[in-house]
Chain A
Amino acid sequence: MSANTTMPTPTPSPVPKKNEPKIEGTSRLHEGWRSFLKSKSAVIGAGIVLVILLIAIIGPMLLTFGYNEVDANSRLAAPSAEHWFGTDDLGRDVFARVINGARISLWVGFFAVSGSIVVGSLLGLLAGYYGRWLDVLISRIFDILLAFPGILLAIAIVAMLGPSLKNAMYAIAIINVPTFGRLMRSRVLAVKQEDFVLAAKAIGMKDRRILFTHILPNSWTPIMVQGTLNFAIAVIEAAGLGFLGLGAQPPEPEWGKMLSDCRQYIQSAPWTMIFPGLAIMFTVLGFNLLGDGLRDILDPRMKQ
């Protein structure tokens, strides 16, 4: 869901291009696609993200074992033809659990990031556009949220709401709100000085319409890049909360939870930790590469 929609975005380029031959409207799409293909990290990142996405969507359907299916005869079995990634202390297939875990991690990442984007952007939009006391109020809320280390705040929030995957998701969404809020606010402060906003006011347009038709579409590219990068952070935070027992609850096959459940077997049965760990690593790597690539593509200063 994320990879396909983020790739060929028409870039709002404020840089006027003179003497450009007349071209059709789709050309921006082509141009975006071309610069996407040129960026190695974006292509590799998108590839990894796509693979993980596919695994999350169709993987569980192809498995021979259920993620919670216990094979009491082969506990902590080493990787074999039957159990590719081995089995854990209860005799569950680690491969099946890692594959199912992809679903959980992507869901958490997706909802947490979309939640913080929606709330953060809206607050940032209001703070940047209306300014004055509203800006002071919203910015101070962001400052307060940022004053705590992210994961500590998330732990506090989950402790308040009760440990569960859903509450972990809320917590991650809340702690990431200021990131998007401040980014949006700074973009809005710049965009609202643009002449076309003044021109829109001069034809009698309402504030609300100006906000959503003129300012928002000109401000959202950095949000998109930050969103991709924060997806990786959200996956790590979800795993962290899971590891601490505050996120996913048994028997959900959440990667962080798997790590903590099997940490006493790290020497005797390392496969129980290596594979969930690798899964986290590749997911985070994929989204980071994609995010970095998108930033390079969408940054107008990088354009020749």
Chain B
Amino acid sequence: MTKTLLEIKEFKMHFHTDKGVVKAVDGIDLSVNEGEVVGLVGESGCGKSVTSLSVMGLVPTPPGKVEAGSIQLAGRDLTRLKRREWRQVRGNEVAMIFQEPMTSLNPVFTVGSQMIEAIRQHRQVGKKEARHRAGEALREVGISRDSILDEYPHQLSGGMRQRVMIAMAMVCEPKLLIADEPTTALDVTIQAQILDLMRRLNQEKGTAILMITHDLGVVAEMCSRVVVMYAGQVVEEADVNTLFSNPKHPYTAGLLRSIPQLDKRSDRLYSIPGNVPNPRQMPTGCRFAPRCEHVQSICLDREPPLFHITTGDHTSRCWLHGTEKEDVDRDSSRDVVRS
């Protein structure tokens, strides 16, 4: 069960614009095991979406450019794929669902014709067989009415559309499903249904899910491991219980504190002071230092590596959890010190 399916190593995706280089993803390490649900958390603009699009090879290049690192899917380096090889991977081995189910379907074609198209993209089957499979895929996601195949997207509700998107993504039984904020645009009851559905698909089909979200509630409910990103870097990684009970990085702690608590009265909701740094002008040293309440002098001129916290796979990119010396001793395939 613990075979690594997706392994992102030292991956850097930079955007070269007229106004300078935007380091959207700046050296991240991330792995997803087979059948695992991993959460990728962070606020807007931290590089979550660019990471997920990089795995799909959907970052436009230029302006995007892979500066370093690799993305291995089942042992194959995706950063070296040719266009034709990419098409074999997309939809077949990795599938993706998007935030806005309202706009993810083509408004001028019926649901059925779009699903059939998706199936025939990867499987050599006739139209009839494809339609049959589309119907089955819809039943998997809880739509038992076959007539929906002949309906247009505008005739469906948001929840139904997201189900259709999931059915379409799952139709070729990918090993990895990337869900880019799949429930953000849905209301809460539908959100719960969609999450249920995804969990069921994960358990029944063994599809690994990379759940990209800024909703920590979704993470707590769905994921077994969580990766927290800030300003293009991974700042903390831990299994879900550890992260919620014992967050190590001040940014994670801040995120958790900013969730409103039902059982405590407070006049003001907590929010982390300041804003995400401008990606064209990253602060030297720790990227979170300008907003951090534990900031020390070292934070302002040396960038912290990922430190292992005592037990297990818990890592945190913060000087609170190690010193420079410790860092030099470590063997590190995952942990890097930048000068």
A204 at the B interface (CB under 8 A): yes
Interchain CB contact under 8 A, A203 and B108: no
Pick the residue among B87, B105, B169 that contacts A196 (CB under 8 A).
B105
Assess whether A17 is interfacial by the CB under 8 Å rule: yes
Tell me how far the C-beta of A206 lies from the nearest C-beta in chain B, rounded to whole angstroms: 7
Chain A proximity of B123: nearest CB distance (Å): 11
A200: interface (CB < 8 Å): yes
* Chain B residues within an 8 Å CB radius of A18: 157
State whether B154 touches A195 (Cβ < 8 A). Answer: no
Interface of chain B residues 52 through 91 with chain A (CB within 8 A): 56, 58, 86-91
Interface positions, chain B 147-166, Cβ under 8 Å from A, are: 150-152, 154-155, 157, 165
Determine if B108 and A202 form an interchain contact, defined as CB atoms under 8 angstroms apart.
Answer: no
Judge whether A17 and B154 touch: CB under 8 Å. yes
Contact with A along B109-121 (1 / 0, CB 8 A): 1100000011001
Least Cβ–Cβ distance between A113 and chain B, in angstroms: 23
A1 at interface, CB cutoff 8 A = no
Q: Are B90 and A201 in contact (CB under 8 A)?
A: yes
B89 engages A195 (CB within 8 Å): no
- Interface status of B231 (Cβ within 8 A of chain A): no
Determine which residue in A17, A28, A201, A218 has the highest number of CB atoms from chain B within 10 A of its CB, and name it.
A201
Q: A191: shortest Cβ distance to chain B, in Å? A: 10
Residue B96 lies at the interface, judged by CB distance under 8 Å to chain A: yes
In the assembled complex, the Cα of A22 lies from the Cα of B160 at a distance in Å of 13
Contact across chains for B96 and A25 when beta carbons are under 8 A apart: no
User: Which chain A residues (169-226) contact chain B, with CB distance < 8 Å?
Assistant: 194-196, 198-206, 209, 213-214, 217-218
In the complex, which residues of chain A have a beta carbon less than 8 angstroms from the beta carbon of B107?
12-14, 196, 218
A222 smallest CB distance to B (angstroms): 14
Is A16 an interface residue, CB under 8 A from the partner?
Answer: yes
Q: Does A62 contact B (CB under 8 A)?
A: no
Residues in A whose Cβ lies below 8 Å from that of B323: none
B161 and chain A: residue at smallest CB distance? A16
Is A23 at the interface (CB under 8 A from chain B)? yes
Give which listed residue, B87, B89, B102, B108, contacts A217 with CB less than 8 A: B108
Which of B104, B150, B155, B157 lies in contact with A199, CB distance below 8 A?
B104
Please state if B168 and A203 are interface contacts (CB–CB under 8 Å): yes
CB proximity to B under 8 Å, residues A29-77: none
The size class of the interface chain A forms with chain B is 20 to 34
Contact A202 B121 (CB under 8 A): no
B144 within 8 A of A: no
**A220 CB, min distance to chain B CBs, angstroms:** 10
Write the chain A residue with the least CB distance to B88. A204
Q: Does B92 interact with chain A (Cβ within 8 Å)?
A: yes
Answer whether residue A82 sits at the interface, using C-beta atoms and an 8 A cutoff: no
Quote the shortest CB–CB distance from B141 to chain A (angstroms). Answer: 16
Contact B154 A203 (CB under 8 A): no
Contact for A204 among B91, B106, B151, CB less than 8 A: B91
Q: Closest approach, in angstroms, between the C-beta of B157 and any C-beta of chain A? A: 7
Answer whether residue B95 sits at the interface, using C-beta atoms and an 8 A cutoff: yes
B15 contacts the other chain (Cβ, under 8 Å)?
A: no
List of B residues within 8 angstroms of A23 by Cβ = 155
B249 nearest CB across to chain A (Å): 31
1/0 per residue, CB under 8 A from A, across B180-210: the answer is 0000000000000000000000000000000
Having A14-B107, A195-B98, A204-B89, one finds 9 other A-B pairs with CB under 8 Å, namely A17-B154, A18-B157, A20-B155, A199-B98, A200-B106, A203-B122, A204-B86, A213-B106, A217-B106
7 A-B residue pairs with Cβ-Cβ distance under 8 Å, sorted by A, are A22-B151, A22-B155, A202-B58, A203-B169, A204-B90, A205-B91, A205-B121
Residues of B within 8 A of A (CB): 56, 58, 86-92, 95-96, 98, 100, 102-110, 117-118, 121-122, 150-152, 154-155, 157, 165, 168-169
Across the A-B interface, give the 4 residue pairs with the lowest CB-CB distance, nearest first: A203-B91, A204-B91, A204-B90, A195-B103
